[in-house]
Amino acid sequence: MRGIEIVKVGYDYAGAAGVVTALREVSFDVGASEFLCLVGRSGCGKTTLLNLVAGFLPPTRGEIRIGGETVKGHGLDRGVVFQDFAQLFPWRRSATWSSASRCAASAPPSGRRPHAAS
Ligand SMILES: Nc1ncnc2c1ncn2[C@@H]1O[C@H](COP(=O)(O)OP(=O)(O)OP(=O)(O)O)[C@@H](O)[C@H]1O
Ligand SMILES: [Mg+2]
C-alpha cells in the first residue's frame, strides 16, 4: 500500500516584506503505517510541510500524493493536532485524539478503538 509521497515540494509565503521561501525542493516518501518525526530548527518549515500534507495550503511547487492520489485540499483521511495549547487539550489522551478522526468520519464507536490503538 502506498503511503505519502512528497515530490519536489516548495512553498512561498507572500510576506509583507516580500516572498518568504519556506520550503524548497523537499522530496521524501513515508510508507503506510510508518512513524516519522520531522526534526529541525525553528523556522525550517516543519509546520508549513504539515499544513501542505493536511491540505490546508496548496504547494507553490511540486506535488503531494497520499495513497497515489494528489492532495487537493483537506480531508477526513488526515488529522492534525496543532502545537498551540488552545487546540491541544492536555486532558485528552493520544488514543482519544486518534479516534477523534474516526468520529468525524462517522465511524461507529466499535470501529474507532482498533484504529486508535494501531
Ligand atoms: N504566514 C506567514 N507569512 C510569511 N512567512 C511565514 C508565515 N508562516 C511561516 N513563515 C515563515 O516560513 C518559514 C517556515 O516557518 P514554519 O512555521 O513552517 O517553521 P517551523 O519549522 O514550523 O518552526 P517552529 O519550530 O518555530 O514551529 C519561516 O521562515 C517563517 O518565518
Ligand atoms: Mg512549527
Residue bearing the CA closest to ligand 1, atom 30: 43
Residue bearing the CA closest to ligand 1, atom 6: 13
Cα torsion at 87, 39, 47, 75 (round to 10°)? -80
Domain residues for the domain of 100 are 81-118
In the numeric block, the cell 490503538 is attached to 117
**Span from the CA of 115 to the centroid of ligand 1 (angstroms):** 32
pLDDT at 70: 97
pLDDT at 81: 76
Same domain, 6 and 56: yes
Helix (H, G, I), strand (E, B) or coil at 12: strand
Ligand 1 in reach of 15 Cβ (< 6 A): yes
Same domain, 60 and 89: no
Same domain, 116 and 67: no
CA pair distance 52, 54, nearest whole angstrom: 5
Checking DSSP bridges between strand 18-30 and strand 69-70, what pairing results, if any?
A: unpaired
Same domain, 13 and 51: yes
Name 22's Cβ contacts closer than 8 Å, sequence gap at least 6: 11, 12, 13, 45, 48
Per-residue pLDDT of the chain (118 residues; tens, 9 = 90+): 789 999 999 999 998 999 999 999 999 999 998 999 999 999 999 999 999 999 999 999 999 999 999 999 999 888 887 777 666 677 777 777 666 666 666 666 666 666 555 5
The number of the ligand 1 atom at minimal distance from the alpha carbon of 50 is 18
Same domain, 64 and 97: no
Q: Rounded to the nearest 10 degrees, what angle do helices 109-117 and 94-104 cross at?
A: 140
Quote the number of domains for the chain.
2
Same domain, 98 and 68: no
Same domain, 87 and 68: no
